[in-house]
Chains A and B, each alone.
Chain A
Amino acid sequence: MSQVREHWGSRLGFILAAVGSAIGLGVLWKFPYTVGKNGGGLFLFSYFICVIVIGIPVLIGELLLGRRSQRAAVGAFDVLSSDRPKWKVAGWFGVLSSFLIMSFYSVIAGWGMSYILMSLNGFYQNLSSDEISKVFEKLSHSGSITLFWHCLFTLITMSIVLSGVRKGIEFWSKLMTRTLFVILIGLFFYSMKLDGFHKALEFIFYPDVASFRFSSILEALGLAFFTLSLGQGIMISYGSYMRKKENIPQMACVIGFSVIFVAILAAMTIFPVIFTFGFEPQQGTGLIFKTLPYLFAQLPGSLVISTIFFTLFFFTALTSAIPFIEVVATNIMEIANWPRKKAVLLVALGTFLFGIPSALSFSHGLFPSWQNVYGTNFLDTIDAFVSTWIIPVGGLLTAIFIGWRLDRQISKDEFPLGKTWARFYKLWHFFMKWIIPLTIFLIILQKSGVINFDGDCYGSNAVEHDASGDSSS
């Protein structure tokens, strides 16, 4: 690196950028549903525990790697383990997952942009539920229009990353994350007035022991990982823009708790709408693009509500997409010694091109028989591949690296001074060494179907709640 590395302009800037990155589409469309389906309150509680016990320690680990090395993911492993260069692979895992996620993320975010425009036009106000579903079918099946939005979203993300850390990422993340909070709180107050609010509260918070299984804990863990942007090299990059004087564990806690707060707020905003109309809880594109628009259309001020909601969706996606491109680009910048401009343009072009099959996955314009071969369409295949394999494996390697390979003195140096922090450091190191690798390993086993902890009562000796009647289902 010939130039001085750019750093965050302020602590607030860093926190808002990191929180914006962490709050991704998963929080909006995966979190509420997963909570409801896995026993509500009990699951929420285990998610909470997972964020604190697993999520925040890994977050601390990634930030620490970045700040210590002053490099992005690949370079960080390289610098901190110069005698064993193979650890670089862990960094490449992060780069790969960021690249792959960006490719399909921008397709979905593009649909979100399209829905902003549709909301502004008030287009679906007099349509029936079927007709609204059809509009989404038309949109997703129209390859050219989907591609148009995919291109636009990639362009917007690219131009923000192009302007650098302070003027680009920090400035826009600050602005958008703030707006996002305001919008979410505004929508939450609106939801509080709805009839379905109490039912939603019950669904989310009431501990339903019967539907809580051992796999729920793993599910919660996966969610904690995903909602904190871990295992994607992002927090290593963001850590590398941090100054030495910042308190990493404290920052990680602020980020972790903000994400929990936002996730719960999102759930309490979305579900009241669904319960008011007696709908079944859903997740994914169906929830966002079919059910919610129909329900919005029934509510007073529908145009404003749905425009604001999809703006929230767009901002959520954008603040998370920025680091995807940033991570891949900064790694290339450091390894190939390219200027930012060249790297960012290339990465954006790369994710755009690789995203084309995802954009065309519903219209079957490309790889028409993909679904027959792989069982899911291209977009879902990439999504599942990244979230089942790349992120957990990358996270596992990161945790093992920090717990076993990294010089203890180095990680200790990055912790603040003082007695309390020294005790905290010991605990943290123990977790990084034993608990975290083990649990991530369990997630991988469960997700990949190697072992099913629910069906197999012998394997679930650690679980007390696992109702015996549940294993028959």
Chain B
Amino acid sequence: MNQIREHWTGRIGFLMAAIGSAIGLGILWKFPYTVGQNGGGLFLLSYFVCLVIVGIPIFIAEIILGRSSQRAAVGAYEHHDPKNGGWKVVGWFGVLASFLIMSFYSVIAGWGMSYILMSLNGFYQSLSGNEVDAAYETLTRSGDISLFWHFLFTLITTGIVLSGVRKGIEKWAKIMTKVLLALLVLLFLYAMSLDGFGKAVNFIFHPNPEDFKLTSVIEALGLAFWTLSIGQGIMISYGSYMKRSSSIVQMCMIVAFSVIVVAVLAALVIFPVVFTFDLPPEAGPGLIFQTLPYLFAKLPGSLVLSTMFFTLFVFTALTSAIPLIEVVATNLMELKGFSRKKAALLVGLATFIFGIPSAFSNTSTIFPGWAEIYGMDFLKTIDSLVSIWVIPVGGLLSALFVGWVMDKKVSHSEFVYGTKVPFLYKPWRIFMRWIVPLTILIIIVQKSGLYDFDLLLKGAG
């Protein structure tokens, strides 16, 4: 590295960027229906537990890796393991995850952009439920329109990353995360006035033990990983832009706490709408693009409401997409000596190209037999590959690295710096060494069908 590394202007800059990154489409798109499908309150509780047991410790670890090495993912592992160098593969895992996520993320975000335009046009105001569904089908089946939005979204993200850490990422993340939070609060206030609000609160917070299984815990863990943007190398990069001036632990607590608040708030915005019209909560991925627009159309002020909602959606996506490109690009910059411009453009182009099959996934133009071979369309294949395998395995390896390989002195000095809770270092380290790897391992075993832990739960109960 011949130049001086760019850093955040201050704590707020980092916090806004990290929160914006963490609050991704997962919270709007996956969180509500996953909560709905997995027994409401009890699931929410296990999500919190996963966040505390696994999510936050790994989050702290990634920030420590980044700040102490002042390098992006691959370089960070190399820095802390100079002898062997094998661990840098874990960094590549993160880069791979970011790349793959960006490729389909921008397709979904692109649909969101399309819905802003459609909302502004008041397109679906007088349509029936079937017709709204049909509009979504037409959009996703129209390969060229999907591709257009996919391209536009990639372009915007690349443009922001091109301008660098302070002028690009921090500046835009600050603006958008603030707007995002404001929009969410406004929508929440609106949702409170709806008839279904009480029912929604009941649904989200009331534990329903029958729907709850161990598989739900796995979902919760996956969600915790997703909603904290860990296992993707993002927090290593973001940590590397931090100066040694504030406590990592405190910062991480703030980010995690904000994510929880936003997740619950998002659920409290979406479910009242669903319950007001007595629809079932387990709508699945179609919830955002099919159910909500239809319901918005029935509510007073629908045009403003749905425009606001989809702006929220796009901002959420954008603040999370920025680090996805940033991570891949900074790794290229450090390893290949590319300039920021060259790296960002190259990564933007590559994710765009790799995303083309995702944009066409609901049509059968590219890879016509894909769903028959892999059991799901291209976009979902990549999504599940990343969220079920690449991210958790990457998380497992990073926990093992920080717990067992990394110099204890380094992690200790980074952990305790400026913190009021230095006594937390020991428990954190025990978590990284034992609890986190074991939890992730159990989940991988359960997912893979080697052993069904649900039997154990049933046997105990």
A binds B: yes
Q: Is B372 an interface residue (CB 8 A)?
A: yes
State whether B86 touches A301 (Cβ < 8 A): no
Q: Which of B375-391 contact A (CB under 8 A)?
A: 375-376, 381, 384-385, 388-389
State whether B449 touches A302 (Cβ < 8 A): yes
User: What CA separation (Å) do A25 and B381 show in the bound complex?
Assistant: 27
State whether B381 touches A142 (Cβ < 8 A): no
Additional A-B contact list (8), CB under 8 Å, known A139-B369, A144-B367, A300-B450 = A120-B389, A121-B375, A122-B449, A142-B373, A144-B368, A145-B369, A303-B448, A304-B450
What are 21 A-B pairs with beta-carbon distances under 8 A?
A117-B374, A118-B373, A118-B374, A121-B375, A121-B376, A121-B381, A121-B384, A125-B449, A138-B369, A138-B372, A141-B369, A142-B373, A145-B373, A148-B367, A171-B85, A174-B86, A175-B89, A301-B449, A302-B449, A303-B449, A307-B448
The 4 closest A-B pairs by CB, nearest first: A303-B448, A301-B450, A142-B369, A123-B375
Q: Is B292 an interface residue (CB 8 A)?
A: no
Q: Is B370 an interface residue (CB 8 A)?
A: yes
Task: Give chain A residues whose Cβ lies under 8 Å from the Cβ of B369.
Answer: 138-139, 141-142, 145
Chain A, Cβ-Cβ closest to B366: A144
Q: Which of A96-152 contact B (CB under 8 A)?
A: 114, 117-118, 120-123, 125, 135, 138-139, 141-142, 144-145, 148
User: What CA separation (Å) do A122 and B381 show in the bound complex?
Assistant: 12
Task: Encode contact with B along A292-336: 1 for CB under 8 Å, 0 otherwise.
Answer: 000000001111100100000000000000000000000000000
Task: Give chain A residues whose Cβ lies under 8 Å from the Cβ of B372.
Answer: 135, 138
Interface size class of A (residues with CB under 8 A): 20 to 34
Number of interface residues of B (CB under 8 A): 23
User: What CA separation (Å) do A138 and B372 show in the bound complex?
Assistant: 8
Task: Encode contact with A along B78-95: 1 for CB under 8 Å, 0 otherwise.
Answer: 000000011001000000
User: What CA separation (Å) do A121 and B448 show in the bound complex?
Assistant: 9
User: What CA separation (Å) do A139 and B376 show in the bound complex?
Assistant: 14
- Minimum CB–CB distance from B87 to chain A (whole Å) comes to 10
State whether A175 touches B373 (Cβ < 8 A): no
Task: Encode contact with A along B264-304: 1 for CB under 8 Å, 0 otherwise.
Answer: 00000000000000000000000000000000000000000
- Minimum CB–CB distance from A143 to chain B (whole Å) comes to 10
Chain B, Cβ-Cβ closest to A136: B373
Q: Hey, which bits of chain A sit against chain B, CB under 8 A?
A: 114, 117-118, 120-123, 125, 135, 138-139, 141-142, 144-145, 148, 171, 174-175, 300-304, 307
Task: Give chain A residues whose Cβ lies under 8 Å from the Cβ of B450.
Answer: 300-301, 303-304
- Minimum CB–CB distance from B265 to chain A (whole Å) comes to 34
Chain B, Cβ-Cβ closest to A178: B86
Cβ 8 A contact of B86, one of A125, A175, A302, A304 = A175
Task: Give chain B residues whose Cβ lies under 8 Å from the Cβ of A138.
Answer: 369, 372-373
User: What CA separation (Å) do A292 and B449 show in the bound complex?
Assistant: 18
Task: Give chain A residues whose Cβ lies under 8 Å from the Cβ of B376.
Answer: 121
User: What CA separation (Å) do A301 and B447 show in the bound complex?
Assistant: 10
Chain B, Cβ-Cβ closest to A300: B450
Task: Give chain B residues whose Cβ lies under 8 Å from the Cβ of A118.
Answer: 373-375
> Given A117-B385, A301-B449, A304-B448, does the pair A135, B373 have CB atoms closer than 8 Å?
yes
Chain A, Cβ-Cβ closest to B451: A301
User: What CA separation (Å) do A309 and B357 show in the bound complex?
Assistant: 27
Task: Give chain A residues whose Cβ lies under 8 Å from the Cβ of B86.
Answer: 174-175
Task: Give chain B residues whose Cβ lies under 8 Å from the Cβ of A123.
Answer: 373-375
Task: Give chain B residues whose Cβ lies under 8 Å from the Cβ of A120.
Answer: 385, 388-389
Task: Give chain A residues whose Cβ lies under 8 Å from the Cβ of B381.
Answer: 117, 121
User: What CA separation (Å) do A304 and B448 show in the bound complex?
Assistant: 6
State whether B373 touches A114 (Cβ < 8 A): yes
User: What CA separation (Å) do A59 and B326 show in the bound complex?
Assistant: 46
State whether B370 touches A145 (Cβ < 8 A): yes
Cβ 8 A contact of B367, one of A142, A300, A302 = A142
Q: Which of B330-379 contact A (CB under 8 A)?
A: 357, 366-370, 372-376
Chain B, Cβ-Cβ closest to A120: B389
Interface-central residue, A123, A142, A145, by most chain B CB under 10 Å: A145
State whether A142 touches B85 (Cβ < 8 A): no
Task: Give chain A residues whose Cβ lies under 8 Å from the Cβ of B389.
Answer: 120
User: What CA separation (Å) do A135 and B369 show in the bound complex?
Assistant: 10
User: What CA separation (Å) do A174 and B86 show in the bound complex?
Assistant: 9
Task: Give chain B residues whose Cβ lies under 8 Å from the Cβ of A142.
Answer: 367-370, 373
- Minimum CB–CB distance from B380 to chain A (whole Å) comes to 10
- Minimum CB–CB distance from B192 to chain A (whole Å) comes to 41
- Minimum CB–CB distance from A302 to chain B (whole Å) comes to 7
User: What CA separation (Å) do A456 and B370 show in the bound complex?
Assistant: 51
Task: Encode contact with A along B421-461: 1 for CB under 8 Å, 0 otherwise.
Answer: 00000000000000000000000000111100000000000
- Minimum CB–CB distance from B365 to chain A (whole Å) comes to 9
